[in-house]
Structures are given as structure tokens and as C-alpha cells.
Amino acid sequence: MKILLAGLSEGVHSFSGYRKQGGYDAVEKMLKDMTPDSVIEEVKNAGIRGRGGAGFPTGMKWGFLDKKTNKPRYLICNADEGEPGTFKDRYLMEQIPHRLIEGMIVSSYALGVNTAYIYIRGEFKWIIDALEQAINEAKSAGFLGLNILNSGYNLSLYVHPGAGAYICGEETALIESLEGKRGNPRLKPPFPAVSGLWGCPTVVNNVETIAATPWIVLNGGSAYAALGVGKSTGTKLISACGHVAKPGVYEIEMGLPVEEFIYSQEYCGGIRNGNTLKAVIAGGSSVPILPAELILKTAEGKPRLMTYESLSEGGFQTGTMLGSGGFIVMDHTACIVRHTWTLARFYHHESCGQCSPCREGTGWMEKVLYRLEHGLGTSKDIDLLVDIAKNIEGNTICPLGDAAAWPVASAIRHFRQEFEDHVKNKNIHHLHHHENTLKDSHGH
């Protein structure tokens, strides 16, 4: 079942191609037959949860929007995709830009918004151009601007580029950035739903979440909720990378067994070169890494499914999270210490510097991991890392601190022996890194 990537073809990139496949039918139906509240009701019934990584129910988030003030309300699409391993929003916007534009119209109408922004990472210059072109096409066809389809509803939609800062994917940092400031996250409360962009009630939603709303309007929330398992309803884009035979973006119905996702020809096609699966980071670089046996089956031996609940079964001891759907796969040639070091370096680079535990702790973890990876570590360093991670977690105003701590803590939890081997055998890094050559990665 495809919702987000339905109708994927050459022509669907253009307004006319998208329209031919039923594109913008949801806007027509909604403006003719539905009140904003009834759209919100359908989204609540759909049970869709925020696809950026947090998994918060979208309908509930929309319900928090303060409608009592006289201030304007804003919708911002978070297209600042940058969680390592995640490249799904980019793919959707490249392939079917109008699906996001239509979703922005649907969501804005539901929320009583007349001005909306798509905050997109500045590096995606060609996507910014494609979205601006799509906005112009939709405007010419009467789906954006003043008095849309003679309904009396007005909506202006703008694309706003970021400039290379992962932290701006955090919604309050994103709002600061859209106000022309450094991307320093705000203390909550107040939440953006009460005081967001320019102090006005604001909803920030991920690209994938917004792009699902036209389908929900056309087919009904209950049809969406009928897909998936339990509280993981609908479909999810998963971006698979690393050592799989077929990296790429796949739309799956929630509930697909992880094993099928990795090994089926329909999806990842197994591990490259027939290699052995070693570990997976299932939901973007922030979520705990799991060894092969725990990603395929839970500690109790149940098959692991692609749902919020199944992936988190066992808590952080033996489970992980669905997160953003950035699925990083490692075969037996991968060095967990090196990989963890690159992630620590990433979070150190991306820490905004506001909270001391994160500012100091991310740099400290990077240094210690550098030592371990380069044969300069001691066995005390491993416990030191665990201690630093523990002292960052929960002690910062935004989730970047947790996001930096979890990969380090989980890598040591599940692969401690490999860290110890790096201490005992100083030259170990030479042994496995030469295995990971370009020839390998392009061997399939």
C-alpha cells in the first residue's frame, strides 16, 4: 500500500502530472465539504504520529493550537532533514513536490493558518527551486493565494532555507532560525502551539506527516488507521543505507517484520556481497544501535516489527526506537568504535552550545572516542564514556543532548568487547578499516 509514494513516475513531478493522478482532489473536496475542525477530526482518527522522529500524535498536537487569541497562527513544515541515516523527506520532495504543497494547503486550512513556511535545509538548493516552482504552479491553478477555489480561504506559502545546522530540526530552534537568529532551542513551556513564530501560535510538522494529510482527507482517517498495527497506523518512509544491497527510500506499511525489510528483494535485498549482518541503527543516528540478533528478534524471541512499539520493546536495554526511519545497516566489516566516533564528532559539531552538559560533554566524548579508535585509549576510557553519556542525558533543554548520549551508551552496552579490543590491540583499526574500501561499497 503506497500513500506517500503512490503514483511515482516521471510526470508526477509537474503540476499537470500530479493533478492527473488525483492530486489536489483533497483540497477540492475539503473546501467544498469540510470544516477545518472536521479535517482535524479525520487526522485524529487516522492516528498518524509525527514522522520526524518523536512520534507524537499529530491530531493531538494540532488540538493544542491556541485558537482563542487574536494573533495570526502559523504552520511551519520541518524539511530540515539532517539526522544521519535519514534522507526520506528529501526523496519525497524531489519526486513528488506537489504532495507536500497539497499537504501544506490541507494542514493550513485545518489549523486556520493563512501564512505558512517550509523550512528546508539550505544545502538542498535544487529542491528549494523545485518547491518554489510547484508553489507557483499551484498558485496559477488557483490552489494557493487569495480566495482559493472561490472558498474565501487565503493561504500564502513560502520556502525558507536554513544554512547548515542540525539543531534547527528541533522545532523551537527552527522557529528561532526562521526569525533570523542563531538556532538556539527555547525553553518549554511555552510550547509553540501557544507562543511560536513571532510569539504567535504555531504548529511545526515534518514533511512526511504533512504529505500524508491529503490522503487522509480523501479516504478518511479510519481508512488510514486500518493500515498498520495498533498505535502505529498507516505507512512510513524508511531510508535504508550502509551495507544493504539496495540502499534507498521505501514506503512500508507499519508492522512489516524487520527481517523481511532487510532481506526481501522488494526492500533492501539483503546485505551487500552476501556479507553477514552485524548491527542496525533503526531510526536515525540518535537511536540506540542494536546487534543483529536483537534487531531481528526481541529479547523474548518475538519477531521485531517496523512499528513504534515493537522496535522499542525491551526499553533501551534490548530495544531501540523507530525514530525518523533512518535505517543504518552494518555488516561484519563495520567498526563500531569508528562509527560511534564519527557520530560523536557529528553531535559535537552540531551542539548549539547553550547547555553545558551538551556543549562540554559532546566534545569530551568525541575526544575519548578518538583516543580509543586511534589506539590511544585505556580501559578506563570506556567507563568514562558511559559516565559522560549518563551526565548529558536528561540534563539539557532540548533533545540533542540525549541524541548525542544514546549512540555512545548503546554502542558500549552491546559491543563493549569491541571497545576493549581497541584498548588491548592498538593496531586493531588498521586491521578492519582496510576491509571497508570503496570497492566493497560499490561491489553490488
DSSP code of 147? S
Q: Which of 73, 99, 121, 236 binds another protein (CB under 8 A)?
A: 121
CB 9 within 8 A of CB 95: no
For residue 332, state whether it binds another protein (rule: CB under 8 A): no
For residue 182, state whether it binds another protein (rule: CB under 8 A): yes
305 backbone dihedrals φ, ψ, rounded to 5°: -110, 155
Q: What is d(CA 314, CA 300) in angstroms, rounded to the nearest whole number?
A: 9
Mark the segment that binds another protein (CB under 8 A) among 36-44, 48-56, 242-250, 294-302. Answer: 242-250
For residue 5, state whether it binds another protein (rule: CB under 8 A): no
CB of 125 to another protein, least distance (A): 4
CB of 286 to another protein, least distance (A): 11
Q: What is d(CA 191, CA 430) in angstroms, rounded to the nearest whole number?
A: 49
Q: Which of 55, 84, 221, 228 binds another protein (CB under 8 A)?
A: 84
CB of 177 to another protein, least distance (A): 7
**Contacts with another protein in 199-238 (CB under 8 A)?**
none
Q: What is d(CA 199, CA 149) in angstroms, rounded to the nearest whole number?
A: 31
For residue 7, state whether it binds another protein (rule: CB under 8 A): no
CB of 345 to another protein, least distance (A): 8
For residue 19, state whether it binds another protein (rule: CB under 8 A): no
Q: Which of 180, 189, 274, 301 binds another protein (CB under 8 A)?
A: 180
Which positions ≥6 away from 141 have C-beta within 8 Å? 15, 19, 24
Q: Pick between residue 215 and residue 415 the one whose CB is nearest to another protein.
A: 415
For residue 95, state whether it binds another protein (rule: CB under 8 A): no
Mark the segment that binds another protein (CB under 8 A) among 85-93, 315-323, 374-382, 385-393. Answer: 85-93
CB of 429 to another protein, least distance (A): 11
Q: Pick between residue 71 and residue 302 the one whose CB is nearest to another protein.
A: 71
> Residues 190, 172, 386, CA angle at the centre, nearest 5°?
105
**Contacts with another protein in 372-391 (CB under 8 A)?**
none
DSSP string covering 206-239: EHHHHHHHHHHHHH-HHHHHTSEETTEESEEEEE
For residue 400, state whether it binds another protein (rule: CB under 8 A): no
Grid-cell match 545497516, residue found: 329
Conformation bin of residue 368: beta by default, left when phi > 0, alpha when psi is -120 to 50: alpha
Q: Which of 254, 328, 398, 408 binds another protein (CB under 8 A)?
A: 328
Q: Which of 83, 137, 170, 373 binds another protein (CB under 8 A)?
A: 83
Q: Pick between residue 9 and residue 437 the one whose CB is nearest to another protein.
A: 437
For residue 132, state whether it binds another protein (rule: CB under 8 A): no
Q: According to the 3-state scheme, what is the secondary structure of 309-356?
A: HHHHCCHHHHCCCCCCCEEEEEECCCCHHHHHHHHHHHHHHHCCCCCH
DSSP lists the bridge partners of residue 74 as 115, 202
For residue 269, state whether it binds another protein (rule: CB under 8 A): no
CB of 232 to another protein, least distance (A): 23
- Applying CB under 8 A, the site for another protein has a residue count of 61
For residue 325, state whether it binds another protein (rule: CB under 8 A): no
CB 259 within 8 A of CB 244: no
DSSP lists the bridge partners of residue 254 as none
- Does the CA dihedral 127-130-132-138 come out positive or negative? negative
Q: Taking the C-alpha atoms of 126, 130, 131 and 133 in order, what is their torsion angle to the nearest 10 degrees?
A: 140
CB of 311 to another protein, least distance (A): 19
**Contacts with another protein in 33-72 (CB under 8 A)?**
72
Which element (helix H / strand E) includes 392?
helix 379-392
Positions in the binding site for another protein (CB under 8 A): 72, 81-87, 90, 115, 121-126, 158, 160-166, 177-183, 198, 239-243, 247-249, 285, 326, 328, 330, 334, 338-339, 342-343, 345-346, 349-350, 352, 433, 436-438, 440-442
